[in-house]
Amino acid sequence: MDSTFDQLAHRYVDEVTAYSPVSATHLGDHRYDDALDDVSAEARQKKVAFCRAMLDELEAIPRAGLSRANQVDAAMLAHRLRAEVWHIEVLREWTWNPMACTALAGNAVYGLVARDFAPLADRLQCAAARMEQIPRMLAQSRAVIDISRVPKIHAETAVKQNPGVTALIDNMIRPHVESLGQADRRRIEQAMLTARQGVEAHQKWLEDEVLPQARGDWRLGAELFDRKLSFALQSALTRQDVRKLADAELLRVRQEMYDLAAEVYLREYPHAKHPAEPSREYQQAIIRACLEMACREMPDIERIVEIAQSQLDRLTEFVRSSDIVTVQPDPVKVIEMPEFRRGRTLAYCDSPGPLDVGQGTFYAIAPPPSDWTAEQVHSLLREYNLRSLENLTVHEAMPGHYLQITHSSRYQSTLRAMLSSGTFIEGWAVYTEGMMVEQGAYGDDPLMKLVVLKWRLRCISNAILDQTTHVDGMSREEAMELMIEDTFQEEREAAGKWTRGQLSSAQLSTYFVGYLEHAAFRREMEAKLGDRFDLKAYHDKLLSYGSPPMQYVRALTLDLPIEA
């Protein structure tokens, strides 16, 4: 049975990348670097047929006959195949989200030039081939988009992001044109012109046709959201379970914040006296007063990338010297976020695919939009004060996403590395925020502890916002109150998260659920091992499995049955 499954897994890895050459490049499969995705309805039906055929073969293999590692991979593959079919046939986002093709056009070029996986001249030739195909791909997208179903927020964001494709070409391709021979130079110059014309035609369509007619509802509703959430979490938790846990954790963390803030306040004002039973309003005021102390130390907006890089260097040295988890040698660099990727989040970690192990990781930070007022920029810098920016660096890079994915990509099964669980990945990053405080990364800095707890509240509110907006009809005003009053976010952060909540669904819940799973498993292992518990050994073992759902990590570690 293992041999049969291994053959099926190899075929999946070998064949699935042909359906998205852009994704294949990111994964590190460079056979299709000169091709651009076919986004027609017919192409998607071929993908569905492939997934169904694979699923039929997979379900014919008795799970009990597989090794434990292969049982996990088989369960993850079945889950991914079912999710792919559901997304294409039921959710059908490709018919109402114009942002997808802009991201595809940008990533088609960015993925070829951002990393040195091949000689530059070869990558530029592939970029030329893809740029020649951008008008075709964008035209296919226009043909399948039902404008009446496009939500206005998606249309507005697509209008802002689409010009970033030509900016990317100007910034990342044009500077290298002179390094090519005459014939190659002529081709790539023409390809850049072709791509620009295609993007401009698409921009005109977005502005003249899509934006004026965009009337679609961005709220998924209970049926679609619940199914998408089950695919995202790969967990037995329901939407209702997540909400119950989030509500309870919100109260608990706020109380922890007050207890800490009360001590900080007395350090600053030693003659103050706290009431024995403080009201919610009193607790709110004390927490805000102490968070205000942290907000006084803001980064220079012009040096934010440089500052984050300095923080990353310091955190890396701390992780190494503290010996809390193995640090892989793969390079990582802080960069300014490319324009075509802005509009959804302030920062992200862009790791190389599992077939490009050792290539560089980019921790990207977006600058404030050029049309923001000074007041809005100030709000952003208050949210990402120096302590908060350092916690962001923990989450995105060290020892968060960057470090975890360098481990995951080294797992022996390429299939598992391709099928990574977003809940495991986001949960690890949130877990490391508190773990770094616990391990003394900031010395005795109560304000840093308070900021990290505030980030925990952000994580909780993500999960609440996710479902209340898409299912319960939460208004923008109600969402802003949740984020600003209940979880102490600054106005710009809350406004950005409201936009993100409209543009995405189910993903915002992965942070909270993943954190709960990581925290619970660590407590379980500490109780089981007692004095024999070793933090580095625990972390390295945890990360050695790749990035599967935590239920499988627990089963593999404790020799429990592998359940689908």
> Would 244 be classed as within a structural domain?
no
Last residue of a domain, one of 183, 218, 253: 218
3-state secondary structure of 96: coil
Tracing tokens 């590692």 back to the chain, one arrives at 69
The low-confidence residues of the chain, meaning pLDDT below 70, are: none
pLDDT of residue 237: 96
pLDDT of residue 564: 75
Q: Write out pLDDT tens, residues 58-102.
A: 999 999 999 999 999 999 999 999 999 999 999 999 999 999 999
* Amino acid in the structure at residue 512: F
3-state secondary structure of 396: helix
> Would 229 be classed as within a structural domain?
no
> Would 455 be classed as within a structural domain?
yes
How many structural domains does the chain have?
2
Domain of 133, in residue numbers:
2-218
Q: Write out pLDDT tens, residues 386-410.
A: 999 999 999 999 999 999 999 999 9
190/318 same-domain check:
no
330/194 same-domain check:
no
> Would 157 be classed as within a structural domain?
yes
> CA angle 256-261-265, nearest 5°?
160
Question: What is this structure's pTM?
Answer: 0.96
Angstrom distance (rounded) from CA 65 to CA 351: 35
214/325 same-domain check:
no
> Would 26 be classed as within a structural domain?
yes
167/44 same-domain check:
yes
Sheet containing strand 361-365, strands side by side: 332-336, 361-365, 347-350
Alpha-carbon torsion, ordered 361, 20, 159, 476, to 10 deg: -70
Residues 6+ apart with CB under 8 A from 499: 153, 157, 343, 344
56/174 same-domain check:
yes
pLDDT of residue 340: 84
187/323 same-domain check:
no
Among 161, 130, 102, 134, which residue's Cα sits nearest to residue 25? 130
Query: Are the C-beta atoms of 351 and 405 separated by less than 8 Å?
Result: yes
> Would 235 be classed as within a structural domain?
no
DSSP secondary structure letters along 123-151:
HHHHHHHHHHHHHHHHHHHHHH--GGG-B
184/324 same-domain check:
no
> Would 247 be classed as within a structural domain?
no
Q: Where are the beta strands (DSSP E) in 343-466?
A: 347-350, 361-365
Tracing tokens 């997979």 back to the chain, one arrives at 58
349/483 same-domain check:
yes
pLDDT of residue 85: 98
pLDDT of residue 495: 97
Last residue of a domain, one of 218, 241, 271: 218
Per-residue exposure over 74-95, b if at least 16 CB sit within 10 Å of its own CB, e if not: bbbbbbbbebbbbbbeebbebb
> Would 265 be classed as within a structural domain?
no
Query: Are the C-beta atoms of 254 and 283 separated by less than 8 Å?
Result: yes
439/551 same-domain check:
yes
Last residue of a domain, one of 193, 218, 243: 218
